[in-house]
Structures are given as structure tokens and as C-alpha cells.
Homo-oligomer: A and B are copies of this chain.
């Protein structure tokens, strides 16, 4: 039995260290990944994937923790991936979140992992789906992906989820700012956290107006707006109910299957591009890149001509 096979078997028996090692293979873009993914594939497709996104400070980790507790009370196995798209700069910076989740540290039904993707050839766009697939095959019922911020990378990560929560908090910027960040289009459910703070009702009203103004099809899901005060556990039952309703809609509408095919398409493309990108490293002109860069910086050569020389040698 190969190493990858033994690791997967151990992970499926519930050994957290085996699972952690598998995710590390993903992070490091290990050559073994190919075999791992082949072995994992038949066991996938069962887990519900929930994405959580929002600006720093809105309380993503608190909500994640509250949802972990709620799902654990239903005896579901819960995996959490905390993904920091800026990890090339701040490896390990999500430590704070992990500390906050320490009350689950001794619970075998919960697996929490911060993920960096610095070594991964395909970047976030292929590393995160691979980690999801491993957790899925390891038998987790619910997998949450928590991401920092609201930029493009976060939007991509959120698109990996079956249900995406966009979390805002009062005083973090008005609704125009929220629209700016492109979150309206990715939200399946809006969460206004810190509902006890001034401005919460205004935030809810603004979101409601924006949802009302957006055009949805007749059969489309209209994102509800849930008010929580996660630190006090308020609103979490409501949120779980909305998530269940969304899950039921995903199944009834066929949208879950559509989303998963779309996701697979993106993942395959990302891996194929990564393969092509790797070939770039072996391009005839690569040795001259520094020289080409100097010529472009000093105005002697335009970047297109430089790129041609890089590709053609």
C-alpha cells in the first residue's frame, strides 16, 4: 500500500494527523498530489461547503465558531479551512483565528486548519478545491471556508462554496462601499453581525434596498439578510435555518450540480494553465529575463517585445 493510500485510509478513520499531512501535501504542491487526488476522487461529493467572507474585523471567526457549535450539536463532523489569500506575505497570520477556536481543539469531530498556498503551482484556485476534496473524502459533513477580505481572490474562494455568507458589520463602510467590493453578486446569504451596535438597522435596510433593486429571475434565490450578534450566540439558529433552506433550494433547483460542474471546470482549467505556466520556466529566453527587465525599465524595449523574446528565445 502506497504512502498516499495509507494516509488517506488513516484520514478516513478519523486521524487528524493524517488529514493534516494530506493538506500539507496540497499546500506544498507535492508531486504525490496527483496520486492523492486519484485516490480521493471516488469518495467525494457528499459534504456541504459553506463559504464565509467579509472585511477584516466583521467577526468571521466568531460566526465560524458559532456555526461549528451549532453543527456539532447535530453530531455533524465539521471541517474549517481558514484561507488567507495574502499568505505569501503573512504566513501563519491567521493564528489569531485558530486561537479563538481553541474551545474545539479537543473535539475529534472538528478539524480546523489555516491554509497557506505559497508552494502550490496552481495557486489558490486549485489548492483550495483540493483541500476541500480531501476533507470531503475524509467524511466531513460540513466544510467551512473562511477567507479574509473582499478582493478578487476571496471572490474566487467564495465561488467554491455551495452557500456563501457575506458578512458585514455596522460602521465598516456604507452600502456603496459594500457594492464596490463585488460582494452582492456572490452572496447567498447576507449576515449583518454585531447587530447590537449602532448602525446595524441602517446596514440591514441598505442591504435590503440593494437586494430589492437587483434583478433576480423568477426561480432564482434571493439572498436573505440575517442579523446576528455572534459573540453572544444571537441569530445563529436563524442563520442555520437559512443555510438549510438554501441547501434545499440548491438541490431542488439543480443549482448544486451546476455549481459543482462549473467549479470542476475552473479547477481543471487552473491545473492546465499551471502546467503551461510551468513550461514557461523552461522557456528558451528565461535566462535573459533579468536583462529584458532592465531594458524595459530603462525604456529601451517595450514589454510585448520582451515577452516575445522570453517565449521564443
Return A166 CB to nearest CB of chain B, in Å: 12
* A2 interface residue (CB < 8 Å to B): no
Judging by beta carbons under 8 Å apart, are B264 and A86 in contact?
A: no
* Nearest CB in chain B to that of A268: its residue: B306
* A296 interface residue (CB < 8 Å to B): yes
A124 to B87 alpha-carbon distance, docked (Å): 19
* Nearest CB in chain B to that of A265: its residue: B293
A217 to B49 alpha-carbon distance, docked (Å): 44
Judging by beta carbons under 8 Å apart, are B177 and A56 in contact?
A: yes
* A112 interface residue (CB < 8 Å to B): no
Q: What band does the interface of chain A fall in when counting residues whose beta carbon is under 8 Å from B? A: 35 or more
Judging by beta carbons under 8 Å apart, are A182 and B276 in contact?
A: no
Judging by beta carbons under 8 Å apart, are A302 and B37 in contact?
A: yes
Which A residues are within 8 Å of any B CB, using their own CB? 33-34, 37-38, 40-45, 55-57, 84-90, 93-94, 96, 124, 126, 129-130, 148-155, 171-174, 176-182, 184-186, 257, 260-265, 267-269, 271-277, 279-280, 283, 289-290, 292-294, 296-307, 310-311
A90 to B261 alpha-carbon distance, docked (Å): 24
Judging by beta carbons under 8 Å apart, are A126 and B268 in contact?
A: no
Counting chain B CB atoms within 10 Å of each CB, which of A130, A177, A262, A296 scores highest?
Answer: A296
Residues from chain B with Cβ under 8 Å of A301 in the complex:
41
Judging by beta carbons under 8 Å apart, are A263 and B90 in contact?
A: no
Residues from chain B with Cβ under 8 Å of A173 in the complex:
55-57
Counting chain B CB atoms within 10 Å of each CB, which of A88, A264, A300 scores highest?
Answer: A264
A84 to B32 alpha-carbon distance, docked (Å): 38
Judging by beta carbons under 8 Å apart, are B293 and A96 in contact?
A: no
Among B41, B268, B279, B297, point to the contact of A257 (Cβ < 8 A): B297
Among B148, B178, B186, point to the contact of A56 (Cβ < 8 A): B178
A32 to B229 alpha-carbon distance, docked (Å): 54
A224 to B179 alpha-carbon distance, docked (Å): 32
Judging by beta carbons under 8 Å apart, are B56 and A302 in contact?
A: no
Knowing A37-B304, A56-B180, A280-B272 are in contact, say whether A293-B310 is a contact too (CB < 8 A). no
Judging by beta carbons under 8 Å apart, are A181 and B257 in contact?
A: no
A298 to B44 alpha-carbon distance, docked (Å): 8
Judging by beta carbons under 8 Å apart, are B86 and A151 in contact?
A: yes
A87 to B172 alpha-carbon distance, docked (Å): 21
Return A147 CB to nearest CB of chain B, in Å: 9
Among B55, B93, B272, B294, point to the contact of A182 (Cβ < 8 A): B93
Knowing A56-B181, A149-B150, A280-B276 are in contact, say whether A33-B304 is a contact too (CB < 8 A). yes
